[in-house]
Structure 1
Amino acid sequence: MAQQIFTTLAENGRLARFQIQQLTHIPTRSLRHALAVLVQLHLVLHYTGEEDITFYSVDWRNSYYLTRSNRVISLVDNRYGEGAGKIMANLLQLGHARVGDLAQAFDLTTKPNSGDDPCREHVNAENGARVNGTDTNHMRKTPNTKISTIGQFHGTLRKMLKAGFLAKVNKRIYTPAADLDAEIEEAVISDRFPDRKITGPKKQAEFKSAVNILKRKWRDNDEFTDRDLESKGTIRRPGEPPGKRAKVNGGLTNGAGHDGHIEENGPKLPNDMVLKVNYAQCVLAFRTDRLEQLAESYLGPVTGAVYGALLQALEGKVRARDGDIQDDEGSDDEEDDLPVASTLEVADLLDPNIDLTLGIQGMSETQPLTNGDTKGKKKAKVTEDESIKIEDDEDEHHTNGYTSYEGRNKRLNLVEEHLKILEEHSKGFCKRVGGAGRGEWRVHFSALTDTLVQTTIDETILARFGKIHALLVRMLREKGRLAEKEIGALTLMRAKDVRSVLTELQYAGIIEAQEVPKDTSRQPTRTLYLYFHDQKRVQSLLLQQSYQGMSRTLQRLKQERENYKNAIEKAEMMDVMNEELNQNEREAVMQWREVEEKLVIQVQRMDDQVALLRDFSGKDNSLVS
């Protein structure tokens, strides 16, 4: 029923409830219930106008995000532990939930010290969350423990809220973007333009500025702050230094402590606070993983790990939101608005077990402990008491990332050397912009995203057509518009061969041709054809093809499930009916699981490309409802 309503809204656009009923012939009571479920899951938006008629429309952005549920659970699980992953799984399944209801789902209100596996009946697709998940082993992680106390539960929620992976729910998130913009504009006109005249360049600029200011005000009021904590009534003002406890537990911007410890004695969140998943922040985390893979492919795993730590430090200083405010006049200062991270922050996020000497010329691996002999001929004699002290030092090393002040400086120097290597690379992975904290670094994400898109396009052309086609596209990208003879001269190919390759690429939409007539007759023989490659157009083309591929794969998945329907249903009802599967049914279930895994992995791979082509830049608004 909910599927029928969603399909009707997707095909017909914005509709009132009586219009939906006319098209679907669903009873009124059932229709109300299905619409409530769709709104709860953030798949449908609604808006009630002045005539008290509620219109419903599809939330395309959140509907698409359902395909990333497993990846989001795996991401949070890797960063914040198994308990955080289960909180995220609950919110993905429910759409949004109150803090008190989540605590009940973990059975913490009645058994706060229980060590049982909480919420195991409330999590779907838990085992499938790691089918194609990326596990980055270079960052400090929260110990993979389950949430067993109410303090751990609230501490995990605070971490995820401060990191931006969770967000508070308010009434405005159910309003379509066009209606919300119209409401903001009407409020600005009523307040600042009583004559309702906003014509002219000066008034237009003033009007747009006022609209953006009001948008930011509403957005900031909806953000999670210290006011949302059930503290002793003290509210820390902006700029005021944190308390002693906050300093001890680590004051990183993204809320992650230096040792991954979750503070259990901190203030608790109100039980009536409603939370949802912030998918936009998850997109930043996916971008971090993709850029780290790019750096690793060029500079090796150690330098790639350092770059991943830098990206995660920068990621914690950005609050990504769907439908963020884009300033038209702020393009010149776009790079200055990017966040910066210091070498100290990068070192704190980096795994202390990584040998940072690898990948740096002239550095050797760590030598065994000696008694001070510079030539290393005599080994140190370690007594039993000294060995215990060394073990304590090793524990301190694993906790703090360094065993002494000298070791700390050496580690920071090595991290800085890796960052310099990243800065000097032709791709421009990062840039030094200051000297605070042993150096401040900034990443130009727009340029790197364009580089990733360009690499993806080249790989796609190489896989579909071949080396010659990829060579011609790269040449047109660098040289601009070229005639057929010029292309043949540069590639040392015959005109016949060049023409066939260009025809294939033009038919596939990879390149285009501009006609330049030599005279007014405009005859084909008297026309010059200039070929060129438009990367934005090809990027949009690949994005549409990825959508089509995902849609067809999901349809294939549905059809394959119908082929194994009897065996699947019997396996699902096996515990209730106290029956066992025969040999043929077991083989059918195993075949279905294999087919399902292959198709799901293909969908996730295509989603990786969609995220790169559409989401990483943060400027695409094609799915705004």
Structure 2
Amino acid sequence: MLVTKNAAELCTLLVNELYGQLPSRIVAALLARGRSQVRDLALYTSLNPKQVRHGLSLVIQHNLVFYQTDHETANTTYEANPRAAYHLVRVGKILDVINRKYGLMAKNIVNDLLMLGHVEIAEFVRYHKLKHNRKKATINGEQNHEYEHEHDLENGDTGDPFDDDSHYVNGNGTTHKTGEDTKPIQADEIFDTMAQLIAAGVVETVSTTMFQSPQDLKASVEQECMKEFPNGIRGAKVTAEFDTMVKSQIKAIGAERSTTKRKLQESALYEPSNIKRRKLANGAMSNGFAGDSGGSILRDEPNTVVRLNFDKCLVELRNQKLIEHAEDFVGETTAQVFAALLASLCRKVYRCQYDQHTIMTEEEEETYFTGVRVTTEEIFEHLCPGVDVSTGIGTASEDDIDIRFSEKIRKYPPQIKGSHLQGTLDEGDEIIGSDDEDYDHSGERPSGAHVNGHHHGSVTQNGVSYNGNHTREGQLSRTEQIRQMRQHLLILAEAKQQFVRHCGQNEWTVDFGPLVQQLRYVELDTMIEDSFGRQGLRLTRILREKGKLDDKTLPAMALMRKPDVHVKMAEMEMAGFLEVQEVPRDNNRAANRTMFFWFFDEARTLKRVLDNAYKSMVRCLERLEVERYKKKNVLSVTDRRDVQGKEEEMLRGDVYNEYLDFLDIEKRLLSQVSKLDDLVSIFQDF
């Protein structure tokens, strides 16, 4: 994967920020020089071969570098993985979405996997248990025992000193009982949560083929298959047989990678007690994958190596962005129904983008070509119980609703035209009657019902109705709740943005490609309007929809004066948002005999915007390093263990104020980096 200078510099800074200087020097050399061997890296980085090998082991541990060994010459070459290096900028967002969807335990596991890289499950459970139990003991005042535990581990004592969860020892020698928040973590909890994350795809098992780049892996598979054709590959029939053999080998590799995940998913499906989702400690709902038996499966395979799957985490981040986008247009309640739909779809979607080198299983390949569909019942199962589906939607008479239009089924995804999606029916689309057209609407608007989210005499919460004295009157039936939720789905399908597509009888799907493309146009339009005003945005939209236009035709279409159009177009061309093509009418190439065609090049514009975003992020991180150097005396004090968490009590007033000033600067810089990463995600990764 080729990266620009700014992107390579950004990846180097991110690796240095999380893993230190040695791995960052290795990654920087590989990004600048390309494929290299150990002796080449020693020359590029001015390190000795021992240091280079140590640095390579670290970056391979965190999937920042691929390696390929030539079986004939036994030479190993290393290649940087810039995509994995850039994902480090999203660590905070990933931890936040994991905490909200899977709970605090899952967040701590993902955080430790980020710091450890790929690791065996048994070793990770032991590490995670010791680390967090020691942290809880330190919070309770047991700081003098921490060094004793480390000394025991150095001497080979692997016993867990925190097995007794009945009490902790305070610093004054007294003991006290612990509460829920200070209860030691047990190995069973870690195994069960890890099983849930593996079944959901957030954590993946590691195989030897993952240390090769997808291009090298495909080339090695083709080289192995070539041995079956000693006479070479000639003719259409032999070529087809060769391609089939290569595809089958690649599918076998993908199936091998997902063996553990399939076991955990099957265990959840075959156990009725695990089908319904359980409520997490933070109030979120689990996804129903891998119940209590999932931990026992992992205990039987303690040597399985696991690591964090950034592709699945990117799917979760995309869902979050789409939910926020929908909430701006259709309201909070309908957006929560959209979130339930995305959560049910997310069970079968494991990455945002596919290319020719992506290793897919048969299930993923079928999902990629045919799409993912979910039923209304599946969406309702993923809907949070706290969502009141009777709010956020008005009630209209039957004469004002065209059932045949609202219930139309679209078999094919919409097409982008300019900045909007086409809303016309394509060939093969159907118009059917409503699934609930026989529903009795006579009592649909009782006294005190909600209209457009407003209360009229009663309060409805979680599907339970109350009168003015807050006494329980009754509960909405499951059928009526599903019917009301279905109205929200129809709103999402009928919206101009077409968040949802009604793709079959009682079936729904989300066309991520057109929806994300529309989101890109929204961000581009915002940038153009902020930089060039409404006139620049109007000209860009016209060119995006019509294609190439002559400079004599454009003023009439934009309803602008010709000199104003020329000034604005030249300004946008200098900024890289528009392009011009000169077509001379004769060989003299005179200006008055030349036609100028203006057009909007989306691919080139996105590349320029992305490179500018990388440059801005690099400057923010470099400025952060400068601020740290200015406050190095203060930060050296706050990094002490006896000061961490008690800065206000331990530091003098002037020193504490300097520390607060640095935290404010750090927060602003990192917030700017996070906002720029949102643009990169929309323009490139989603």
Q: Same fold (TM over 0.5)?
A: yes
In the TM superposition, 1:546-557 aligns within 5 A as 546-557=613-624
Which amino acid in structure 1 is aligned with residue 186 of structure 2?
T
What's the counterpart of residue 652 of structure 2? 582
Q: 1:440 to 1:278 in 2, by over 3 A?
A: same
What's the counterpart of residue 546 of structure 2? 479
Structure 1 residue 264: deviation in Å? 7.2
Structure 1 residue 594: deviation in Å? 1.0
Aligned equivalent of 2:124, options 83, 89, 102 = 102
What's the counterpart of residue 412 of structure 1? 482
Structure 1 residue 280: deviation in Å? 0.5
Question: 2:556 & 2:67 partners in 1: Cα distance?
Answer: 60
Q: Tell me whether 338-347 or 26-35 shows the greater mean CA deviation.
A: 26-35
**In percent, how many aligned pairs have the same letter?**
27
Aligned equivalent of 2:249, options 200, 210, 214 = 214
1:82 and 1:144 in contact (8 A); partners too: no
Secondary structure of the residue aligned to 1:528 is strand
2:195 and 2:290 in contact (8 A); partners too: no
In the TM superposition, 1:135-150 aligns within 5 A as 148-150=185-187
Q: 1:539 to 1:381 in 2, by over 3 A?
A: closer
Which amino acid in structure 1 is aligned with residue 243 of structure 2?
K
What's the counterpart of residue 195 of structure 1? 231
Question: Could you list the runs of 5+ residues in structure 1 that have no partner in the other structure?
Answer: 122-142, 230-234, 328-332, 371-375, 394-402, 617-625
Q: 1:208 to 1:537 in 2, by over 3 A?
A: farther
Question: 2:467 & 2:58 partners in 1: Cα distance?
Answer: 74
Structure 1 residue 540: deviation in Å? 2.0
Q: 1:355 to 1:151 in 2, by over 3 A?
A: same
Structure 1 residue 261: deviation in Å? 10
Q: 1:584 to 1:180 in 2, by over 3 A?
A: same
Q: 1:68 to 1:525 in 2, by over 3 A?
A: same
Structure 1 residue 146: deviation in Å? 8.3
Q: 1:413 to 1:572 in 2, by over 3 A?
A: same
What's the counterpart of residue 567 of structure 1? 634
What's the counterpart of residue 222 of structure 2? 185
What's the counterpart of residue 514 of structure 1? 581
Aligned equivalent of 2:670, options 573, 591, 600 = 600
Question: 2:623 & 2:333 partners in 1: Cα distance?
Answer: 41
What's the counterpart of residue 545 of structure 1? 612
Structure 1 residue 196: deviation in Å? 2.2
Q: 1:294 to 1:481 in 2, by over 3 A?
A: same
TM-score relative to the length of structure 1: 0.79
What's the counterpart of residue 354 of structure 1? 387
Which amino acid in structure 2 is aligned with residue 67 of structure 1?
V
Question: 1:97 & 1:587 partners in 2: Cα distance?
Answer: 41
Question: 1:56 & 1:358 partners in 2: Cα distance?
Answer: 57
Aligned equivalent of 1:275, options 300, 306, 317 = 306
Secondary structure of the residue aligned to 2:642 is helix
1:454 and 1:535 in contact (8 A); partners too: no
Which amino acid in structure 1 is aligned with residue 69 of structure 2?
T
Q: 1:109 to 1:90 in 2, by over 3 A?
A: closer
What's the counterpart of residue 206 of structure 2? 169
Which amino acid in structure 2 is aligned with residue 441 of structure 1?
W
Q: 1:266 to 1:97 in 2, by over 3 A?
A: closer
1:152 and 1:264 in contact (8 A); partners too: no
Q: 1:473 to 1:203 in 2, by over 3 A?
A: farther
Secondary structure of the residue aligned to 1:225 is helix
Aligned equivalent of 2:105, options 71, 77, 83 = 83
Structure 1 residue 584: deviation in Å? 3.1
Which amino acid in structure 2 is aligned with residue 343 of structure 1?
T
Aligned equivalent of 1:524, options 588, 591, 595 = 591
Q: 1:325 to 1:407 in 2, by over 3 A?
A: farther
1:249 and 1:258 in contact (8 A); partners too: yes
Which amino acid in structure 1 is aligned with residue 663 of structure 2?
R
Aligned equivalent of 2:502, options 432, 441, 451 = 432
What's the counterpart of residue 225 of structure 1? 260
What's the counterpart of residue 11 of structure 2? none
What's the counterpart of residue 242 of structure 1? 270
Structure 1 residue 326: deviation in Å? 6.3
Question: 2:639 & 2:580 partners in 1: Cα distance?
Answer: 57
> Cα deviation per residue 1:154-198 (whole Å; 9 max; x = unaligned)?
22111111111010011111113332121011122223x23122x
Question: 2:516 & 2:560 partners in 1: Cα distance?
Answer: 33
Structure 1 residue 514: deviation in Å? 1.8
Q: 1:160 to 1:553 in 2, by over 3 A?
A: same
> Cα deviation per residue 1:39-71 (whole Å; 9 max; x = unaligned)?
112222222212122222211111111111111
Secondary structure of the residue aligned to 2:270 is coil
Matched, 1:20 2:56: no
Aligned equivalent of 1:49, options 58, 70, 92 = 70
What's the counterpart of residue 316 of structure 1? 347
What's the counterpart of residue 64 of structure 1? 86
Q: 1:452 to 1:208 in 2, by over 3 A?
A: farther
Q: 1:40 to 1:506 in 2, by over 3 A?
A: same
Which amino acid in structure 2 is aligned with residue 106 of structure 1?
H
What's the counterpart of residue 26 of structure 2? 5
Question: 1:368 & 1:260 partners in 2: Cα distance?
Answer: 41
Which amino acid in structure 1 is aligned with residue 685 of structure 2?
D
Secondary structure of the residue aligned to 2:296 is coil
Secondary structure of the residue aligned to 1:52 is coil
Q: 1:247 to 1:297 in 2, by over 3 A?
A: closer
Q: 1:349 to 1:236 in 2, by over 3 A?
A: closer
Structure 1 residue 378: deviation in Å? 10
Question: 2:193 & 2:457 partners in 1: Cα distance?
Answer: 40
Which amino acid in structure 2 is aligned with residue 35 of structure 1?
L
Structure 1 residue 325: deviation in Å? 4.8
Structure 1 residue 573: deviation in Å? 3.0
Structure 1 residue 203: deviation in Å? 4.3
Question: 1:117 & 1:367 partners in 2: Cα distance?
Answer: 50
Q: 1:145 to 1:410 in 2, by over 3 A?
A: farther
Q: 1:563 to 1:203 in 2, by over 3 A?
A: farther
Structure 1 residue 98: deviation in Å? 1.6
Which amino acid in structure 2 is aligned with residue 151 of structure 1?
D
TM-score relative to the length of structure 2: 0.72
> Cα deviation per residue 1:566-592 (whole Å; 9 max; x = unaligned)?
211122136389995433322221111
Which amino acid in structure 1 is aligned with residue 270 of structure 2?
P
Q: 1:188 to 1:116 in 2, by over 3 A?
A: farther
Which amino acid in structure 2 is aligned with residue 408 of structure 1?
R
Q: Tell me whether 76-85 or 475-484 shows the greater mean CA deviation.
A: 475-484
What's the counterpart of residue 51 of structure 2? 30
> Cα deviation per residue 1:412-460 (whole Å; 9 max; x = unaligned)?
001111111111122221112233xxx1101111111110111111011
> Cα deviation per residue 1:312-352 (whole Å; 9 max; x = unaligned)?
2111112228876569xxxxx99861101111121222222
Question: 1:379 & 1:24 partners in 2: Cα distance?
Answer: 75
What's the counterpart of residue 679 of structure 2? 609
What's the counterpart of residue 622 of structure 1? none
What's the counterpart of residue 497 of structure 1? 564
Question: 2:343 & 2:277 partners in 1: Cα distance?
Answer: 19
Which amino acid in structure 2 is aligned with residue 544 of structure 1?
D
Structure 1 residue 115: deviation in Å? 10
Secondary structure of the residue aligned to 1:106 is helix
> Cα deviation per residue 1:435-490 (whole Å; 9 max; x = unaligned)?
3xxx1101111111110111111011011221110111011112222222222112
Aligned length: 550
Root-mean-square deviation (CA, aligned residues, Å) is 3.8
Which amino acid in structure 1 is aligned with residue 492 of structure 2?
L
What's the counterpart of residue 330 of structure 2? 299
Structure 1 residue 225: deviation in Å? 3.3
Question: 2:625 & 2:309 partners in 1: Cα distance?
Answer: 28
1:108 and 1:150 in contact (8 A); partners too: no
Question: 2:288 & 2:138 partners in 1: Cα distance?
Answer: 25
Secondary structure of the residue aligned to 2:387 is coil
1:147 and 1:153 in contact (8 A); partners too: no
1:462 and 1:470 in contact (8 A); partners too: yes
What's the counterpart of residue 372 of structure 2? 339
Which amino acid in structure 2 is aligned with residue 20 of structure 1?
L
Which amino acid in structure 2 is aligned with residue 342 of structure 1?
T
2:112 and 2:128 in contact (8 A); partners too: no
Question: 1:460 & 1:369 partners in 2: Cα distance?
Answer: 45
2:500 and 2:509 in contact (8 A); partners too: yes
